[in-house]
Amino acid sequence: MTYVSHKIEIAQAFDELSILKIKQSKAKDQKLKKHLGKQICILIEEINEAISYKLTKEIYCSKFYMDLFDANLNIFESVDKFKDSEPAQLNMKRIDAKRIIQKRFFGKPLGEIKL
């Protein structure tokens, strides 16, 4: 894969972590679950390097992270209920456009997992 390294705020990294964890829990395919697990490990390593293992663990085990996880889970469940709605269809068009760019210019599938 071709990646861009860019700085994001730690809170955004924890948001991404919670989304990856939700996708992994909802994935039915074992190969996909394994792939998501690798992405989770890489992200956790990057967070550890940025703020230390101790602080990563403190945040990950906090009520604040659980609130973030629950909010993302509620969003996923709401999107699942309304997959045929116009906003959901527009989001799929956005994801399809990203897939086309990735495939056309880099010859590989998009690494982002859409469930």
Kindly list the domain boundaries of the chain, sorted by start residue: 10-81
At 4, the pLDDT band (50, 70, 90 cuts) reads: low
SS3 60: helix
pLDDT of 3:
56
Residue 96 scores a pLDDT above 70: yes
For residue 22, the one-letter residue type is I
- Give residue 115's pLDDT band: very low, low, confident or very high (50, 70, 90): low
Would you say residue 13 has pLDDT above 80? yes
E-assigned strand segments in 5-113: none
| Sign of the four-CA dihedral 66, 12, 53, 25 | positive
- Mean pLDDT estimate for the chain: 88
- Conformational region of residue 113, where left means phi above 0, alpha means psi within -120 to 50, and beta covers everything else: beta
Whole-angstrom Cα Rg for the chain: 15
Phi first, then psi, for residue 86 (nearest 5°) are: -60, -45
